[in-house]
């Protein structure tokens, strides 16, 4: 129950509003002391003119926090001022209340007040001219427009400019936010691409090094150790070369840097030869079934993705495949390039290199970037045995071919 009767926190007037109220009150008092009035004494002559003056000056303190109530009470005070000798200070402060009600009031009030004051001005002009039948009566309509319609329309223009500036500021903030989001997405995509390239280029060599190092440590045979060390050296040198190539791509070397060509399917034979050397100790053999029309060129992104898929599949075969034949099949149709790698599935003897699963994720990402299809898993081969099959279909955009 206490929460329902919590007192309202008083709103502290703005320092500009305090200055306007004080100056208006002091100016009105000075005019009254000098005997300067806007009209002759009517129903309430003498010091009664100070009552509307004090009320309107007090309302100036609420021109920002409560603009609409201040305008309503100020209108009553202005009407009361008409029955006294009148004060210019009261009229001027009322025009400021009208202006503030449009600038600081609700959007509905900002739209309604200019139309209302405009209609009142027209009605006052026509009414007094029809009643008095004198040209001087038009001055009453002019005075009404100066006191009511003019500050209202001025406030509407100021509020329009202020709202336009706020909209422009918000649009600029949204543009900056979108630009930052695009930058973050671009950086994230580039980091993912770099991670895929680094994994695909180096994982094959490091896997061979790990397998043969384990073999050299586990088998106490001089010839086996010597062969393993030779394979380790070969893969170390090739891995360092691939690392230098990647670092050269990442480093901004200027216009004098030599362009580095991306690997193509023409180097698949070299991949199989290297895989055969690395997998000989594990009882693995590698064959290529290439049914492509080599005369028809492939788009560079498709060829790079196919090369990396074959490379990663061979690396996984070296890590996990049981002894047997690993087959790489390439086929080209009018719309897509099909890459299939079959390897024996089952427990394997001897040393194995650990895997992290990043290679499978990288292959899937490469295929998805080209809007292709990817599948990998254990299936039953033609001879009834279990094989691990990696299959990817990479669409060939005809626009790339004819470009």
Name which of 131-145, 181-195, 256-270 the model is least confident about. Answer: 256-270
Task: Give per-residue pLDDT as tens, 88-113.
Answer: 999 999 999 999 999 999 999 889 99
CB proximity list for 373: less than 8 A, separation 6 or greater: 367, 392, 393
The whole-number pLDDT of residue 130 equals 81
Query: Is the CA virtual torsion 394, 396, 397, 401 positive or negative?
Result: positive
pLDDT score at 399: 40
How many helices and strands, by DSSP H and E, does the chain display?
A: 12, 5
Question: HSE of 12 in the Cβ direction (CA atoms, 13 Å)?
Answer: 1
Residue 393, pLDDT > 90, answer yes
What is the reported pLDDT for 366? 84
Calculated CA dihedral for residues 74, 80, 84, 85, nearest 10 degrees: 30
For the stretch 274-329, pLDDT in tens is: 888 777 777 888 999 888 877 678 888 888 889 889 988 888 888 788 888 899 99
pLDDT at 256: 46
pLDDT at 145 over 80: yes
Highest mean pLDDT among 246-250, 335-339, 355-359, 363-367: 335-339
Tell me, what's the pLDDT at 218?
A: 63
pLDDT at 175: 86
The answer to whether 268 touches 292, Cβ cutoff 8 Å, is: no
Sign of the four-CA dihedral 190, 191, 195, 198: positive
Mean pLDDT taken over the chain? 80
pTM above 0.85, yes or no: no
- List Cα–Cα distances, 47 to 31, 41, 54, 263, in angstroms: 12, 11, 11, 99
Nearest alpha-carbon partner for 109 in 145, 63, 150, 68: 68
318 neighbors 359 (Cβ within 8 angstroms): no
> What is residue 369's predicted lDDT score, i.e. its pLDDT?
85
Q: What is the full DSSP assignment across 35-84?
A: T--SS---SB-GGGGHHHHHHHHHHGGGTTTSHHHHHHHHHHHHHHHTTB
Model pLDDT, residue 214: 66
Pairing verdict, β 373-380 and 386-395: antiparallel
Residue partners of 18: CB distance under 8 A and separation at least 6: 61
Q: Which of 138-142, 152-156, 177-181, 235-239 has the lowest mean pLDDT?
A: 235-239
């Amino acid at each position: 129950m206490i929460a329902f009767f919590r007192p309202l926190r008083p709103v502290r007037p703005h320092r500009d509003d305090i200055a306007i109220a004080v100056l208006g009150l002091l100016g009105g008092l000075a005019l009254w002391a000098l005997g300067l009035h806007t009209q002759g004494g009517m129903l309430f002559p003498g010091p009664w003119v100070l009552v509307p003056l004090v009320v309107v000056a007090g309302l100036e303190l609420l021109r920002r926090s409560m603009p609409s109530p201040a305008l309503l009470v100020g209108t009553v005070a202005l009407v009361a001022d008409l029955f006294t000798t009148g004060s210019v200070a009261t009229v001027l402060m009322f025009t400021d209340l009208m202006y503030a009600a449009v600038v600081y009031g609700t959007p509905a009030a900002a739209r309604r007040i200019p139309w209302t004051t405009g209609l009142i001005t027209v009605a006052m002009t026509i009414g007094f001219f029809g009643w008095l039948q004198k040209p001087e009566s038009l001055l009453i309509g002019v005075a009404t427009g100066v006191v009511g319609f003019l500050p209202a329309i001025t406030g509407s223009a100021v509020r329009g400019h202020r709202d336009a500036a706020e909209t422009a500021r918000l649009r600029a903030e949204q543009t900056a936010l979108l630009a930052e989001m695009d930058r973050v997405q671009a950086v994230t995509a580039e980091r993912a691409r770099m991670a895929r390239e680094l994994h695909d280029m180096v994982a094959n060599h490091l896997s061979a090094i790990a397998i043969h190092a384990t073999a050299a440590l586990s088998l106490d045979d001089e010839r086996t150790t010597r062969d393993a060390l030779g394979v380790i050296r070969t893969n170390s040198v090739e891995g360092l070369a691939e690392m230098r190539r990647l670092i050269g791509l990442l480093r901004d070397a200027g216009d004098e840097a030599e362009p580095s060509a991306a690997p193509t399917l023409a180097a698949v034979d070299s991949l199989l030869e290297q895989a055969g050397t690395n997998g000989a100790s594990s009882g693995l053999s590698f064959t290529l079934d290439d049914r492509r029309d080599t005369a028809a060129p492939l788009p560079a992104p498709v060829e790079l993705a196919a090369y990396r898929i074959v490379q990663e599949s061979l690396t996984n075969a070296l890590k996990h495949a049981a002894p047997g034949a690993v087959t790489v099949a390439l086929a080209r149709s009018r719309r897509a390039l099909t890459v299939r790698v079959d390897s024996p599935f089952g427990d394997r003897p001897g040393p194995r290199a650990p895997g992290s699963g990043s290679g499978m994720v990288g292959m899937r990402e490469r295929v998805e970037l080209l809007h292709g299809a990817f599948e990998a898993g254990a299936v039953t081969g033609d001879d009834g045995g279990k094989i691990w099959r990696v299959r990817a279909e990479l669409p060939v955009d005809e626009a790339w071919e004819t470009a």
